[in-house]
């Protein structure tokens, strides 16, 4: 299978580059710039953007001269190629951020089927000022070498991977198919067939243990494993009391595996979380308590079936990125919530570890699973309850979130957004119910649009939908007086409040 490797220099859009290449039907993966790789395994290399300056003493560097296959440098990568191959990079007197008009001045394969004026997205403070050996193909008002080529190297000062570059996908397509000569060989249908076969070959006659939550990741992963090995899969469903409304019933309706054990442990989790306000501490308590409950059930299964060799998990690519893997340049955004059992030895089985969220949804669709269902965080409603977790806050968060989902479905908007939910904390506001003044909680509604979970934007809901949501929450959810709407995008905000 033809592959493109994206070398990560710490850019905020690195994951988007890999995702866009996959959208073109070609497999792409991310490799940290310090990690060696075999060039012969790939048809092309893309050097990502990054926050550094190539002339700084601590800048991430890579000897690009050794590459013989096509190389595309984007932003920092564009500057790095010039810097490493004899060009010059200097600070810009006028920095470019945002939409910019690009003037294409010479015919080039990279700009095939594009016009001589294109809208592109710039985000840079440095620029290539001299690269005598290179041929310039485009410029902007402030960047004379916005695109160039030199031997097997191509440079773009702008970001073709973001949606703001109107024909960015065409540029990436030209690089992948015209320059790298890749074939379209990456599809979710092929992935399912190959994944099931691979699981079967890895597991053989052994057994697999999995924790399932009803969420799309664990459900898809468990379904693939079930297709591969049938009754040698043993699933455990732990109800920690922080699930969505009707989550247990909904999940069990499609987790129809032969060996599925349901465990009710909500009181134990709530007891352990009493008085805890720090979000990371709450995550760790939930994780450790889950491991304790899961491990007890797992040992019971081992007594019944003998040694279980594999632990299956629904880890996806964005989990690994947000847990500072695969790149040491990445910031640790949140603690990983996948299961680790310290007293039991397993080999990990992660069928989805190379997939982005929207790819997992496509697999779910092809497996006839509820693929339109919105994702749900590992710690459950704990990620949406600010401050101490109490039964009252759980009730408010659960019921308010259900109303948000219902009203978006009624308005035909639910399938257009990536996530929608309600958040509750300790902030209180004055309200008037009938003729009486009372104090109640503030509920914040969050509705997000996203293609890949790594970036997201808040959804511009019609006022009448927001009004209906607010009226229903204040009327139907006890102890709520105010409803607000979160309008922060990712970045700088995260999707979940905690």
Residue 451 pLDDT greater than 80, yes or no = no
Tell me how far apart the alpha carbons of residues 120 and 101 are, in angstroms, rounded to a whole number: 6
Question: CB within 8 A of 79, min separation 6: which ones?
Answer: 54, 73, 89, 124, 126, 127, 128, 155, 157
Residue found under tokens 């949406």 = 384
| pLDDT tens-digit map of 456-471 | 899 999 999 999 999 9
- DSSP secondary structure code for residue 284 in this structure: H
- DSSP secondary structure code for residue 154 in this structure: E
Tell me how far apart the alpha carbons of residues 453 and 447 are, in angstroms, rounded to a whole number: 13
**More confident call, 455 vs 431:** 431
Same domain assignment for residues 347 and 408:
no
Same domain assignment for residues 294 and 175:
no
Tell me how far apart the alpha carbons of residues 498 and 486 are, in angstroms, rounded to a whole number: 14
Q: Among 123-137, 158-172, 248-262, 314-328, which stretch is predicted with the lowest mean pLDDT?
A: 314-328
Tokens read off for 312:
């299956």
**Long-range contacts made by residues 490-496, C-beta under 8 angstroms, separation at least 24?**
490/448, 490/450, 490/454, 490/455, 490/456, 490/457, 491/12, 491/455, 494/333, 494/334, 495/419, 495/446, 495/448, 495/450, 495/453, 495/456, 496/377, 496/383, 496/384
Question: Is 496 within a domain?
Answer: no
Number of domains in the chain: 3
Same domain assignment for residues 271 and 327:
yes
Question: Is 359 within a domain?
Answer: yes
Question: Is 328 within a domain?
Answer: yes
Q: How many CA atoms lie within 13 A of 331 on its CB side?
A: 7
Q: Among 95-99, 177-181, 223-227, 329-333, which stretch is predicted with the lowest mean pLDDT?
A: 329-333
Tell me how far apart the alpha carbons of residues 295 and 282 are, in angstroms, rounded to a whole number: 20
Sign of the C-alpha dihedral computed for residues 256, 257, 261 and 263 taken in this order: negative
Selection from 115-124, 264-273, 427-436 with the highest mean pLDDT = 264-273
DSSP-derived 3-state class of residue 63: coil
Model pLDDT, residue 332: 42
Catalytic, 159? Answer: yes
Question: Is 494 within a domain?
Answer: no
Question: Which residue is catalytic, options 75, 180, 182, 235?
Answer: 75
Tokens read off for 208:
């697999």
Same domain assignment for residues 327 and 293:
yes
Question: Is 457 within a domain?
Answer: yes
Tell me how far apart the alpha carbons of residues 21 and 32 are, in angstroms, rounded to a whole number: 17
Tell me how far apart the alpha carbons of residues 159 and 75 are, in angstroms, rounded to a whole number: 7
Model pLDDT, residue 320: 66
Same domain assignment for residues 161 and 195:
no
- For 135, 214, 240, 250, 335, the CA distances from 378, given in Å and listed in that order, are 50, 10, 11, 17, 10
Buried b (16+ CB within 10 A) or exposed e, 443-462: bbbbbbebbbbbbbebbebe
Catalytic, 75? Answer: yes
pLDDT average, residue stretch 273-286: 95
Residue 287 pLDDT greater than 60, yes or no = yes
pLDDT average, residue stretch 163-178: 94
Catalytic, 182? Answer: no
| pLDDT tens-digit map of 288-346 | 999 899 989 988 988 888 889 999 999 887 776 555 444 444 444 344 445 455 556 78
Model pLDDT, residue 342: 56
Q: Which of 179, 207, 235 is the last residue of a domain?
A: 179
Question: Is 497 within a domain?
Answer: no
| pLDDT tens-digit map of 401-419 | 999 999 999 999 999 999 9
What's the domain range around 443? 385-485
DSSP 175-227: IIIIIS-------HHHHHHHHHHHHHHHHTT--EEEE--SSHHHHHHHHHHHH
Same domain assignment for residues 155 and 25:
yes
Question: Which residue is catalytic, options 78, 83, 159, 441?
Answer: 159
Same domain assignment for residues 41 and 156:
yes
Same domain assignment for residues 61 and 161:
yes
Same domain assignment for residues 264 and 348:
yes
pLDDT average, residue stretch 65-69: 96
Q: Which of 150, 179, 208 is the last residue of a domain?
A: 179
Tell me how far apart the alpha carbons of residues 363 and 220 are, in angstroms, rounded to a whole number: 7
Tell me how far apart the alpha carbons of residues 304 and 187 are, in angstroms, rounded to a whole number: 39
Same domain assignment for residues 349 and 411:
no
CB atoms within 10 A of CB 198: 14
- For 116, 120, 135, 158, 360, the CA distances from 131, given in Å and listed in that order, are 22, 22, 8, 17, 43
**More confident call, 172 vs 375:** 172
Model pLDDT, residue 356: 84
Across the chain, mean pLDDT equals 90
Q: Among 18-27, 246-255, 377-386, which stretch is predicted with the lowest mean pLDDT?
A: 246-255
Q: Which of 307, 333, 366 is the last residue of a domain?
A: 366
pLDDT average, residue stretch 218-224: 95
| pLDDT tens-digit map of 87-116 | 988 887 777 778 899 999 877 899 999 999
pTM of the entire predicted model: 0.71
Same domain assignment for residues 192 and 169:
no
Same domain assignment for residues 356 and 393:
no
- Cis, bond preceding 123 (omega within 30 deg of 0): no
Question: Is 265 within a domain?
Answer: yes
Tell me how far apart the alpha carbons of residues 426 and 390 are, in angstroms, rounded to a whole number: 11
Model pLDDT, residue 420: 97
376, 373, 396, 378: which is closest to 386 by C-alpha? Answer: 396
Residue 180 pLDDT greater than 60, yes or no = yes
Question: Which residue is catalytic, options 118, 161, 329, 496?
Answer: 161
């Amino acid at each position: 299978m033809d592959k493109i490797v994206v070398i990560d220099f710490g850019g905020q859009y690195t994951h988007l580059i890999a995702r866009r290449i996959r959208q073109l039907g070609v497999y792409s993966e991310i490799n940290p710039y310090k990690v060696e790789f075999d060039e012969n395994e790939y048809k092309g290399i893309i050097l990502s953007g990054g926050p550094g300056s190539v002339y700084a003493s601590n800048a991430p560097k890579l000897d690009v001269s050794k590459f013989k296959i096509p190389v595309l440098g984007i932003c920092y990568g564009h500057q790095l190629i010039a810097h490493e191959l004899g060009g010059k990079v200097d600070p810009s007197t006028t920095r470019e951020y945002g939409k910019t008009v690009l003037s294409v001045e010479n015919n080039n394969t990279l700009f095939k089927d594009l016009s001589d004026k294109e809208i592109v997205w710039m985000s840079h403070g440095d620029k290539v000022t001299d690269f005598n050996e290179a041929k310039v193909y485009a410029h902007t008002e402030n960047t004379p070498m916005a695109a160039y080529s030199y031997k097997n190297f191509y440079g773009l000062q702008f970001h073709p991977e973001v949606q703001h570059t109107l024909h960015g996908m065409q540029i990436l397509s030209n690089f992948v198919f015209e320059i790298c000569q890749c074939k379209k060989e990456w599809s979710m249908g092929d992935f399912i067939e190959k994944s099931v076969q691979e699981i079967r070959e890895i597991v053989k006659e052994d057994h697999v243990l999995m924790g399932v939550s009803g969420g799309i990741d664990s459900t898809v992963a468990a379904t693939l494993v079930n297709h591969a090995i049938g009754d040698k899969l043993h699933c455990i469903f732990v109800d920690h009391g922080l699930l969505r409304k009707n989550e247990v019933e909904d999940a069990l309706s499609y987790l129809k595996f032969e060996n599925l054990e349901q465990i009710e442990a909500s009181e134990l989790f709530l007891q352990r979380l009493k008085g805890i306000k720090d979000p990371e501490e709450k995550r760790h308590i939930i994780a450790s308590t889950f491991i304790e409950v899961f491990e007890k059930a797992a040992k019971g299964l081992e007594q019944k079936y003998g040694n279980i060799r594999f632990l299956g998990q629904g880890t996806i690519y964005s989990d690994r990125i947000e847990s500072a893997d695969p790149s040491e340049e990445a910031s640790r955004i949140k603690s990983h919530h996948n299961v680790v059992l310290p007293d039991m030895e397993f080999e990990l089985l992660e069928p989805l570890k190379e997939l982005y969220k929207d790819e997992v949804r496509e697999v779910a669709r092809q497996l006839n699973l509820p693929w339109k269902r919105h994702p749900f965080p590992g710690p459950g409603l704990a990620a949406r309850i600010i401050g101490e977790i109490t039964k009252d806050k759980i009730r408010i968060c659960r019921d308010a979130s259900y109303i948000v989902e219902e009203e978006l479905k009624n308005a035909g908007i639910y399938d257009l957004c990536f996530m929608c939910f309600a958040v509750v904390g300790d902030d209180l506001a004055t309200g008037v119910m009938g003729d009486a003044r009372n104090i109640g909680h503030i509920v914040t509604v969050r509705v997000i649009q996203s293609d890949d979970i790594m970036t997201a934007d808040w959804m511009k809901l019609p006022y009448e939908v927001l009004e209906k949501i607010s009226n229903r929450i204040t009327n139907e959810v006890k102890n709520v007086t105010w409803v607000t709407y979160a309008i922060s995008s990712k970045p700088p905000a995260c999707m979940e409040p905690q």
